[in-house]
Structure 1
Amino acid sequence: MDMPAKPVFEGIWLPMVTPMRGGHVDLDAAQALARYYRNAGMAGLVLFGSTGEGNLVGTPEKIDMIEAIASDAHALPLVLGVGGVDTRGVAAAVRRLDRYAPAGYLVPPPYYLGPSQAGIAWHYRQIAWATERPIILYNIPKRAGVAMTVETMEALAAMPNFGAVKECNPSVLAALNARGRLDALCGEDLALLDHFLAGGRGAIPAAAHLYPERFVEIMQLARDGQAHAARELFEPLVPLIRLLFSEPNPAPIKRALAMQGLIADELRMPMTPASRELGSRLQRAMKRMPDPVSRLQTA
C-alpha cells in the first residue's frame, strides 16, 4: 500500500485510557468511550500509550480492544502505542499489528538503555522498515529516560514514515513549529493553548478525557485567531489539569471518569488508584467548571 509522503496528524488525538473491570480489559466500556470521544470531535484515538497502561496490557488484550473499537462502522482512526527495549521485538509487534491498518504508531525510543542519538535513530529506522504505516516519534524523557535532539528528529523526518513527534517541552515545541520540518503534537496539556496559538496543528492531551468538546473548541478558536476567547475557555481548565497530573497518570483520569460513570476506577498493578484526597479535590474541581456554552455556536 502506498502511503502519503508526509503523514499528517491534525486536531486532538486522545491518548485513551484502557478501561478495566475485574482484572480484564472492559471491551464494552472501551467501545462506549470511543463513541463518546468520536461524538465530542476528537480527530482520533491513541491506544496503549502510558495513559493507556500499554506496557501492562498483553498483545491478545490489545487486539481484542482494537477489534472492539474498530467494529463500529464510524470508528475514529487509531494510533497504536508500541514500545520496548528490544528493537527486534518492537518491529515484530508492529508487523503483527499492521493487519489492523492503524492510522499510525506512537513509538518511544528504547527506554532504560539510555542509547546515543545514533542508537535512537537506528532503532527508529528499523521500525520504519517493518511497516508502511506512519510513525509518530515520542520525545518525553521523563518516560523514555532519554531525549532526542531536534537534529535527530528532523533527520528521521527525511524518511517518509515520519511526519510528527509527541513533544512536551514548550521550547522544543516552539522550535519545531518555527522550523516547520516536523509536525509537533503537543503532549504537555498546560502548553496546549500556546501551542495552537503558535500555529501547532495537533495535540495528544490526556486531560481531554474530561470536557472533550471544550478542548476541541479551544483548538478551533486558537486556530481562528480568537486568542482571547480561547484563553477564556482554557483558563478554568488549568486547575483541573494540574490535579490530573498530581499523582501518577492515568490514576486521576480514571477516577474522574469513574465519577462520571463512564468506567470502573481500576488500574493494573503496579499502577494504583488515585488517593481518596485527590478524588475529593477532583470532585470539587469538576463541580466548579463553568457550564459549557459554545462560543462557536453563538458567534
Structure 2
Amino acid sequence: MTSQTLNLRGTGVALITPFTAEQTVDYPALARVLSHTGQAEGVEYWVVNGTTAESPTTSAQEKAEILAFVKANNPQRLPIIYGIGGNHTQAVIEQIRKTDLHGVSAIMSVSPYYNKPSQQGIIAHYRAIADASPLPVIMYNVPGRTGSNMSAATILTLAEHPNIIAVKDASANIEQYLQIAKNKPKDFYLISGDDMHATALIAIGGEGVISVLANAFPTIFSKAIRAALAQDFGTANELLYQLIDINGYMYEESNPVGLKALMAQLDLCRPTVRLPLVEASEALHQKIKATMPKA
C-alpha cells in the first residue's frame, strides 16, 4: 500500500437512485437526497452506483447522467466513490476506461458473483482491475449477494497492491474482521458493509461504514460512527439503538425496497423500485412507520 490522500474514516452513504412513478430517474428527488445527506455533519463521502442505487437496472446512459448530476450537486465537495463491478473482468476494465471519472475519488468494485471463482481467481480479478484503474480501488465483499466470501487471506493479499486502498466487508464474520484488522497495512481501510456491525468493527480496528440507513438518518448514524471512532462506545451504542428496530425492515423485502419505503415516509422520494424488485408491501410500510425513530 502507498499513502493515500483520500480519507475513508467515518460514514459513507450508499446513495439510492430515486425513480418517478413512470420509472424514470427522479432528479428532483435525488437532489433532495443529496441535500439531506450532504449537509449532515459527519457524512464523509458518497457512494454512487452501488447495489443500493439499483445499479443492475440502470442503463449505461442513466449511470453517466446520475454521476454527472451528483458531481454538479455537491456544494460540500464530498468525495465521490463510484461503483464499477461485475463478474467479467475485462468488461469491468473496459467500463472503467469508458467512464468519465473526473471528480471521482475512488472506484468500488464488488467481488465477482455467479461464476463463483476460487480465491486465486478473485485475487487475479482484482489485481487486473487495480492495474488498469486510474483511481484507487475499494473492494466489496458481500457473500449474501455474490455467493462466495473473500477470505481474510485473500483480502490481506490484495491489500498489498499499491492501488487497492480498502475493503467494504459485509461478511458478518467477526473472526475474519479481526484477522484483517490485525494484519492489514496501516493505510488500508477496513470498512463495514453492514450498518449494525459498524461500531463493533470500529472497536476491533475498522475505520467506518458505507451505510444504507444514512440515506434516511445521516445525522444519527454519522454521530454514532464518530462517537465510536472517538472510542465513546456508550454514546455510539445509544445512538445506534435508535435505529436497530427499523434496520431489519430495510432488508425484509430486499434492499433498497425497505429503504425507499422509509424515505417515502420522510418525503424524500417515492417508494418506486425497478423490476425484478417490487415496491414495499403495505405490511412493510406499516412496520417501518411503527418503528420510526423519535429523533
Under a length normalisation based on structure 2, what TM-score does the superposition of the two structures give?
0.92
Q: CA deviation at 1:199?
A: 3.5
Partner of 2:94: 92
| Letter of the structure 2 residue corresponding to residue 152 of structure 1 | T
Root-mean-square deviation (Å): 1.7
| Partner residue, 2:241 | 235
1:178-197 CA distances to partner (integer Å, 9 max, x unpaired)?
Answer: 32334211011221221223
Counterparts of 1:94-109 in structure 2, within 5 Å, are 94-109=96-111
3-state SS of the aligned residue for 1:12? strand
Q: 1:31 — aligned with what?
A: 31
Whole-Å separation in 1 of the counterparts to 2:194 and 2:255: 13
One-letter amino acid of the counterpart of residue 260, structure 1: L
Contact 1:199/1:223 (8 A) holds in 2: no
Partners in 2 of 1:174 and 1:236 — Cα distance? 27
In 2, distance between residues paired with 1:30 and 1:250?
Answer: 14
Alignment of 1:221 onto 2:227: yes
Cα shift readout 1:165-207 (whole Å, capped 9, x = no counterpart): 0112241223222323342110112212212233421211212
Higher relative contact order (CA 8 A, sep 6+): 2
- The correspondence of residues 122-137 of structure 1 with structure 2, limited to 5 A, is 122-137=124-139
CA distance in 2, matches of 1:174, 1:17: 30
Residue 198 of structure 2: aligned partner: 192
* Separation of aligned partners in 1, 2:74 and 2:184: 35
Give the aligned partner of residue 296 of structure 1.
none
Q: Determine helix, strand or coil for the equivalent of 1:277.
A: helix
Contact 2:93 2:129 in 1 (8 A): yes
Bigger Cα displacement from structure 2, 150-159 vs 270-279:
150-159
Does residue 140 of the first structure (1) align with residue 139 of the second (2)? no
Shift of 1:47: 1.3
Offset, 1:132: 2.1
1:73 shift after superposition = 5.4
Task: Give how far 1:110 is off.
Answer: 1.8
AA of the residue aligned to 1:116: S
Instruction: Assess if the C-alpha contact under 8 Å between 1:8 and 1:164 holds in 2.
Output: no
Structure 1: distance between partners of 2:101 and 2:236: 40
Change in CA separation of 1:120 and 1:73 when aligned onto 2, cut-off 3 Å? closer
For the pair 1:178 / 2:182, whether they are aligned, the reply is yes
The 8 Å contact of residues 18 and 25 in structure 2, kept in 1 or not, is answered as yes
C-alpha separation in 2, matches of 1:52 and 1:149: 26
Using the alignment, how far apart are the partners of 1:115 and 1:259 within structure 2?
A: 41
Distance 2:136 2:95 in 1: 15
Q: Who is 2:11 aligned against?
A: 12
CA contact (8 A) 1:82 1:107 kept: yes
CA distance in 2, matches of 1:105, 1:189: 21
Query: How do 1:275-294 residues align onto structure 2 when only pairs under 5 Å count?
Result: 275-286=281-292, 289-291=293-295
Structure 1: any 5+ residue segments left out of the alignment? Answer: 292-299
| Corresponding position of 2:52 | 51
CA distance in 2, matches of 1:73, 1:192: 25
Mapped contact 1:98–1:131 kept (Cα < 8 A): no
SS class of match (1:14) = strand
Match of 1:66 in 2: 67
Q: CA deviation at 1:5?
A: 3.6
Task: Report the CA distance between 1:86 and its aligned residue.
Answer: 1.3
What letter corresponds to residue 160 of structure 1 in structure 2?
Answer: P
Percentage of pairs with the same residue: 28
Indicate the larger mover: 106-115 or 228-237: 228-237
TM-score (norm. length: structure 1): 0.90
Aligned-pair CA distance for 1:281: 0.7
Displacement of 1:247 after TM fit? 1.7
Letter of the structure 2 residue corresponding to residue 138 of structure 1: Y
Judge conservation of contact 1:176–1:183 (CA < 8 Å) in 2: no
Quote how far apart the aligned CAs of 1:38 are. Answer: 1.0
- Indicate how the Cα distance of structure 1 residues 174 and 290 shifts in structure 2: closer, same or farther if over 3 A, else same: farther
Aligned equivalent of 1:266? 272
2:121 paired residue number: 119
The alpha carbon displacement at 1:93 in A equals 0.7
